[in-house]
Amino acid sequence: MKTIYYAATSLDGFIATEDDSLDWLFSLGSLNDSSYPEFIAGVGALAMGSATYEWMLRNAENVAAQTGSAWPYTQPAWIFSTRKLPAIAGADIRFVSGDVRQAHAEMRAAAGASNIWIVGGGDLVGQFYDCGLLDQLIIQIGSCTLGAGKPLLPRQLLSPVLQLRSVRQMGSAMAELRYDVQKGEK
């Protein structure tokens, strides 16, 4: 029953280019050969910010071609935005805004004994971290750099530092690190 940030980053700490492209990521390997299938099977609710959601909207055709649906998640999803965004037909989503604690309580109730996935972006994950609601990070580090882009986690996590739990090599283009967030005084 953990709240987990599961994401892939470039070696220099970006989860997307400045113009929200993920093309660099898909050349690094297939989701199905990663820890993703096992991870998503344990997820009961998920949250994402509007730029991540808008990527899904822009890439709906590609996503549908690859997964069979423009919205590949069966779990209920919370989309954070201050704007009115179009819904995706058939998707179990609700649009929310502001304090993440309210949404987290709703996600916890919906997820039951399963995990909560904070999809991203980095600042939204930071908002959960700021409220003491983030338990774990599972980060795939790609063997590439972007030079600039959307940051993995724009926060200072200095004290207590993250606890490194595992390191796994996935081919020659990815490494996966798992960390627990230590709760305590920042």
Reduced DSSP (H G I as helix, E B as strand, rest coil) percent helix, strand, coil of the chain, to 5: 25, 30, 45
State yes or no: residue 34 binds ligand NAP (CB under 6 A).
no
Among 8, 43, 111, 174, binds ligand NAP (CB under 6 A): 8
State yes or no: residue 20 binds ligand NAP (CB under 6 A).
yes
User: Cα–Cα distance between 123 and 131 in angstroms, integer?
Assistant: 13
46 contacts 117 by C-beta, under 8 angstroms:
yes
User: How far out from the chain centre does Cα 106 lie?
Assistant: 18
Over the window 127 to 166, marking each residue x when it contacts ligand NAP by CB under 6 A and - when it does not, the resulting string is x----------------------x----------------
**Which residues does residue 96 pair with via DSSP β-bridges, in sequence order?**
80
Residue 163 has phi, psi (to 5 degrees) of -100, 115
Among 3, 4, 15, 43, binds ligand NAP (CB under 6 A): 15
| Interacting positions 75-94 with ligand NAP (CB under 6 A) | 80-83
Q: Cβ of residue 14: shortest distance to ligand NAP, in angstroms?
A: 8
